[in-house]
Amino acid sequence: MLACTGLVGAVVLFIRMSLGFEFPIPWNDETAFTSQAFEFSHTGSFYVYGLNSERVVMWMPPGYMLLLSGIYKIFGYSFEISRWASTLMYLGCFGVGLVIVHITLSGWRQRLALVLMLLAFLSPYSLAISNIARMEGLYTLIFLLSLLAVLRDKYALGLALVLLGAIVHFNAVYFLLPYGVLVLWKILHRETLSIGPGELLALVIAALTLASYGLFVIKHIDGFWQDMQFQFAYKLGSPVMGGSEGWTLLGLVLLIPFLQLIAHRRLGAEAFLSLYGVAFIAMTLNGHNMWYSFGYNFGFWLLLLGVLVSTATLSRAWCRIGCALIAGGLFYQLGLHAGSGNPQIDALNPRLSMLSRNFLPASEIDKVRAFIATLPPDTTVSFGYSGVEQYFFDDFFRSGARWTGSAHSVTQVFPARSVDYRVLCDSAMFPNYLFVYDWDGYPRKGLDSGCTIIPMIKEAIK
């Protein structure tokens, strides 16, 4: 365990310190989340002019932004510290995973589980979430903590953590699956479920937190409805669960906890490990988001842990043979998803050449900072909603100028905004598939040309 901890820690910290803005490069999703956190830390509001000039953007629950805003309050703002937060949360996920392996397995099974864990956590598709200012690291940590609570027979605490996870991301809905199975099992077997005082308190806190979010939604109900329409339109633009192949995969992995319930005649650690694994896979299948690729790795790893636990308690030969066959199929899937399968992230993956280059030279960032310092209040500057905005939040706050996107908002392209300046920051590290979004007349070309400051008033006169 010490060796695994050292290896994962070394890799994750190497990426953060040596490829801090190269893997992955700055992303516009980060701009959306960090800007709301920055604004809340300074004004107590989630309203960000650059995201929507008319109202608060409501497309995501505020839990992650609240955490970041607290970090900014204590340590000050920087793009770097935003990514450090994700790095620490990812290491926290690994730590909780080690505890799960320790309490469920021993001997050769534990050592094998650690190898599988390395495969899941060191995959580039998983490492990507360790160095990006998105909420995957936070909600994964919460869901793994809820699994740990369940494995320690604290079912209500596990449910409370999942409910709290809903304040971070709507993906919490997939992790209600184990608790639905738990309730159904208790009803069918007429078993009681005891809840301790601490667990009851956790449930009350989770309920109050959800109620507070509900009030926040009611206050901004029109914006919430509009942004949810955008989200559902985006999700439904792809087949539910990835189409027939996704449904087939989901059905096959759901068979595993079902068979475990039959073989063990109990709802034990093996079934809960598998159910959480299914939840990660369902989240990824239906998420249609490049950053969710880690969910396959974590899902198949947890399913393999569940099968390993089964092999330790089942004595019949046919059961062990069945477990071995299932484990072989799961290992193939884990290896497949850990090593390949996402062309969007493949274009961003670490390469040796990255060690000798920067996404943007420091001199270019300093040049834009000096430019922002000269701007009068309320001057508007567009970066094309490219992710580069995050370098300059503090600078805009001090000058009183405003960064903005070119579109009307992050959920509505038109009517396009009129801006005073356009800053085009280009880099050879931008993947080509992003260029289709540069519709405002200033497309990136994928060249290391730095940042060009374009006065839009002169452009209009031309």
Mean pLDDT, residues 331-335 taken together: 97
Q: What is the pTM of this model?
A: 0.96
The Cα angle at residue 247 between residues 246 and 253, in degrees rounded to 5 = 90
pLDDT greater than 60 at residue 459: no
- Contacts (Cβ under 8 Å, ≥6 apart) of 191: 185
Percent of the chain with pLDDT over 90: 92
Cα 59 versus chain centre, distance: 15
What would the pLDDT profile of 64-118 be if each residue is shown by its tens digit?
Answer: 999 999 999 999 999 999 999 999 999 999 999 999 999 999 999 999 999 999 9
Angle between helices 2-18 and 79-104 (to 10 degrees): 170
pLDDT greater than 60 at residue 462: no
Pairwise CA distance, residues 222 & 43, whole Å: 22
- Contacts (Cβ under 8 Å, ≥6 apart) of 235: 286, 287, 288
What would the pLDDT profile of 393-418 be if each residue is shown by its tens digit?
Answer: 999 999 999 999 999 999 999 999 99
Pairwise CA distance, residues 164 & 175, whole Å: 11
Region of 450 on the Ramachandran plot (φ > 0 left; ψ -120 to 50 alpha; else beta):
left
Residue written as tokens 């590290």?
429
For residue 42, what pLDDT is reported? 97
The Cα angle at residue 162 between residues 38 and 123, in degrees rounded to 5 = 75
For residue 460, what pLDDT is reported? 53
What would the pLDDT profile of 224-261 be if each residue is shown by its tens digit?
Answer: 999 999 999 988 889 999 999 999 999 999 999 999 99
pLDDT greater than 80 at residue 172: yes
For residue 353, what pLDDT is reported? 87
What would the pLDDT profile of 130-139 be if each residue is shown by its tens digit?
Answer: 999 999 999 9
For residue 458, what pLDDT is reported? 60
If pLDDT is split at 50, 70 and 90, which confidence band does 314 have?
confident
Pairwise CA distance, residues 136 & 159, whole Å: 19
Q: State the greatest distance between any 2 C-alpha atoms of the chain, in Å, as a whole number.
A: 83
Percent of the chain with pLDDT over 70: 99
Q: What are the helix (H) ranges across 106-196?
A: 107-121, 124-127, 136-151, 155-165, 177-188
Output the CA torsion 199→200→201→204 (10° steps).
Answer: 120
220 neighbors 55 (Cβ within 8 angstroms): yes
Give, in order, the Cα–Cα distances in Å from 242 to each of 131, 171, 256, 461. Answer: 27, 16, 20, 49
347 burial type by CB count under 10 A (0-12 exposed, 13-18 middle, 19+ buried):
middle
Pairwise CA distance, residues 336 & 296, whole Å: 10
pLDDT greater than 60 at residue 461: no
Average pLDDT of the chain?
Answer: 95
What would the pLDDT profile of 419-452 be if each residue is shown by its tens digit?
Answer: 999 999 999 999 999 999 999 999 999 999 999 9
Pairwise CA distance, residues 69 & 34, whole Å: 8
